[in-house]
Chains A and B, each alone.
Chain A
């Protein structure tokens, strides 16, 4: 390796500027969630030509399965769906007042939330470039509302910084950006980057940094009225006598750097988190319910598939009652769209080819934990002036997300009090639901001391305990090697689901994979 160059290259400089500007969407809040990809949805699928009575068996009534069933029936296919659960939707799922959820291990949680409050244990946001989900919402009349991803008045928190006191996002954001801009502007002004920047660019760069960082004429980021318009005031402006505002003090770059509070400043800037971003009014499963209304007559519920066999003459799935067991029943069709998570499919007896079997066995499902906490009043709004959005912390809960709906209401509200991955998620998974809730309270109270006084009840979903997925989303050990086999027709089956997409863990990926599968199936049948 060559020795460290003294100056920055132009590319390094631009990359640095870009990152500070948030132009570079390199960070995904959900570690390991793959790409922040834009959907390639091209509008409603058109399956032209007569399928001449061909039948398709759809395994799984999640969004992928129901998309496939809905569109295939419209195109003239005979369709039936087998679903393990007592209801449709899969991971498009909402827990609300009166619901009961039993996880692996037998713990049953009865959701005690007040009427209208809910937790989305799975997907909870719809980016504005997830065109397929948004299109189906429009077609099925699912009402959407803005999801608050970034809230400048929420907190960033690190137990190791500022004595463990949470800091306002806007203060860290403005001070971090301003002081980086100051450093860079001064370096350019002092010709320290003359090898990296032309004289002409240097002048423009300094002007842009002055604007970008809210610097004064001496290119300094200092306490001022202008800066306080970004980071907030020490004393807010008022009306009448004694109303002048007082500018606030700046937090030093050194403290911000050491406290690592820059870590989540750009989380909301990747394309799958940028504004505008949406949620269904009333809970994510409004989408599932809308799909279910369209295909309900096709679904056999409580059907646990135990065997699949495909061949020259068609496909046959054998199932038993998911709760009672008992006698085996079979369903036959000409073809199959299989959306059963590979974590489950790998345990079902089947006659798929060796390459498909290897693909199924290549995928494991991630650990993730969500805890919904209901509080008697919306103290985050009433006391802390936080309306929606997300506070980030280095605590095992990762974040606290405030409800993006029913602002200013008097009644109880539900916070997403934990959303974690990795070692923390595994450990949350290994303790009982009430212990998960207790941990969420213990950690969250370090950010909001009101927690203990205001807590009402909670619900905790650890995804490795979810009986019908055995994990959160499909993670390929070697996607490059096995993905082609997983997408090929095998024993008259095409696979679909978020795991058969490049938008893993997103509903968009599930729907796009289903649309792609039925287009290929239709082409195969029509010829």
Chain B
């Protein structure tokens, strides 16, 4: 929490100092990766589109699985693999995120969204899985 507050303060200071606001949306159609560094921001820039902001998933003719309360997220390897390579209808989205972003979002979905799985994922873990 302390870390988050410190970062928020820095972000606020930056936004006051410079006219440019924190980039929260891709700036070009040719963007290779989505913006953002915080797990939550990254989640809400890509993952939430299908898994929904609260991680409850969605159902139509097929469904998008819930991430909230999903036991498959107990270890980080499965979500890392799913993000990078996809599986079945889940597209590989490793190319639209950096290793750091994937690590941050893996931590977010495992630590947040009502989940409390242990362990920190690092960019090095992601790089090793690519």
Contacts and interface: CB of A to CB of B under 8 A. Distances in A.
Interface in A376-409: 393-398
Interface in B58-112: 58-64, 86-93, 96
A416 B31 CA distance: 21
Interface in A87-110: 104-105
Contacts of A346: 62, 88-89
A364 B89 contact: yes
B50 to A, nearest CB: 5
B29 A475 contact: no
Contact of A347 (B89, B93, B96): B89
B29 A364 contact: no
Given A364-B91, A396-B29, A426-B49, A104 B34 contact: no
A465 B49 contact: yes
B46 A430 contact: yes
Interface string A190-215: 00000000000000000000000000
A104 B60 contact: yes
Given A422-B29, A423-B33, A424-B26, A471 B49 contact: no
Given A395-B28, A396-B26, A467-B61, A430 B89 contact: no
Question: Which of A84, A105, A439, A475 gathers most chain B CB within 10 Å?
Answer: A105
B116 interface: no
Contacts of A396: 25-29, 31
B58 to A, nearest CB: 4
A422 B96 contact: yes
Where chain B touches its partner, the secondary structure class is loop
A462 B49 contact: yes
A421 B30 CA distance: 9
B50 A427 contact: no
Chain B interface bracket (under 10, 10 to 19, 20 to 34, 35 or more):
20 to 34
Interface string A355-393: 000001101111100000000000000000000000001
Contacts of A367: 49, 91
Interface string A505-523: 0000000000000000000
Contacts of A430: 44-49
Residue of A304, A367, A470 ringed by the most chain B CB atoms within 10 A:
A470
B113 interface: no
A429 interface: yes
A420 B29 contact: yes
Nearest to B85: A477
Given A343-B62, A427-B46, A462-B49, A398 B29 contact: yes
B29 A470 contact: no
Contacts of B60: 104, 466-468, 470
A364 B49 contact: no
A464 B49 contact: yes
Contacts of A84: 61
Nearest to B50: A464
A21 B46 CA distance: 40
Of A348, A394, A395, A422, which is in contact with the most chain B CB atoms at under 10 Å from its CB? A422
A252 interface: no
Contacts of A394: 28-30
A466 B59 CA distance: 10
Q: What 6 A-B pairs are tightest by C-beta distance, nearest first? A: A467-B60, A429-B49, A430-B49, A343-B89, A344-B62, A104-B58
Given A104-B50, A360-B88, 16 more contacts: A104-B59, A104-B64, A348-B62, A396-B31, A420-B29, A422-B31, A423-B33, A423-B34, A424-B26, A429-B46, A429-B49, A430-B48, A439-B25, A470-B62, A475-B91, A477-B86
18 contacts: A84-B61, A104-B50, A159-B28, A304-B61, A322-B61, A344-B62, A346-B88, A347-B88, A396-B27, A397-B29, A422-B29, A429-B50, A430-B48, A430-B49, A462-B49, A464-B50, A470-B62, A477-B92
Interface of B: 25-34, 44-50, 52, 58-64, 86-93, 96
